[in-house]
Amino acid sequence: MVDYDRAAVRETVRKGMDDGLSPVQIARLIQEHEAFTPGRAARVSRTENVRSQESGYERRIERARAGGVPIIGHRWLSDPMAARWERRHDLVHGQVAPIGGLFRLPSGVQTQGPGLSGDPGEDIHCRCARSAVLRGR
């Protein structure tokens, strides 16, 4: 994807999420660009949606820790459908990484969280998430 397309897609996803649109509705907006087939638009929408969710998660964790919440790490949560995809993120379900640490995916790729590895084979179609791990839990 060329830089122009990437910037336009990210802006479309951001605006769609700000407006409360679903990934399907955002994909329809992306399809309006001539370079995107319906399937590609849906894939891009889902992938960018996970990245946006992860960005928001990081901001929430930072605010919570600044407010004294004893968060010591992150737990990987796989989408129940993850086993359908070749990369097998279901095998990472429940893995815990400390604050600032990395998760290790079955492929050997290390990442801060879902959709953040920089490896298209790991990030595209990823629908996983993270949850906070509290001290003593």
What pLDDT shows up at residue 42? 76
What pLDDT shows up at residue 69? 96
What pLDDT shows up at residue 80? 75
The residues, ordered by sequence, that sit 6+ positions from 109 with a Cβ below 8 Å of its Cβ are 117, 119, 122
CA-CA distance, 41 to 63, in Å (whole number)? 33
pLDDT reading at 49 higher than 90: no
More confident residue, 36 or 67: 67
**Residue 45 neighbours by CB distance under 10 Å:** 26
Average model confidence (pLDDT) for the chain?
A: 84
Domain map of the chain by residue range? 1-69, 71-137
Confirm if 113 and 122 have CB atoms less than 8 A apart: no
pLDDT tier at 28 (50, 70, 90 boundaries)?
confident
The residues, ordered by sequence, that sit 6+ positions from 12 with a Cβ below 8 Å of its Cβ are 26, 29, 30
Burial of 120 (0-12, 13-18, 19+ CB in 10 A): exposed
Which of 52-61, 62-71, 77-86 is the least confident region?
77-86
> Model pTM greater than 0.75?
no
pLDDT tier at 39 (50, 70, 90 boundaries)?
confident
Confirm if 69 and 134 have CB atoms less than 8 A apart: yes
Q: Return the percentage of the chain with pLDDT > 70, whole number.
A: 89
What pLDDT shows up at residue 22? 83
Q: What is the pLDDT averaged over residues 19-37?
A: 78
